[in-house]
Amino acid sequence: MKDMNYIVNNYLKENPTVKAEKTPKQNANGKTLTEIISTLN
Is pLDDT of 9 > 70? yes
SS (H, E, C) the chain: CHHHHHHHHHCCCCCCCCCCCCCCCCCECCECHHHHHHHHC
Mean pLDDT value across residues 22-36 = 86
**CA 27/CA 13 separation, integer angstroms:** 14
Is pLDDT of 4 > 70? yes
Q: Express as a percent the part of the chain with pLDDT over 90.
A: 2
More confident residue, 1 or 25: 25
pLDDT at residue 23 in the model: 80
Is pLDDT of 1 > 70? no
pLDDT digits (tens, 9 = 90+) for 13-22: 888 888 878 7
Residue of 39, 33, 41, 38 whose CA lies nearest to 6? 33
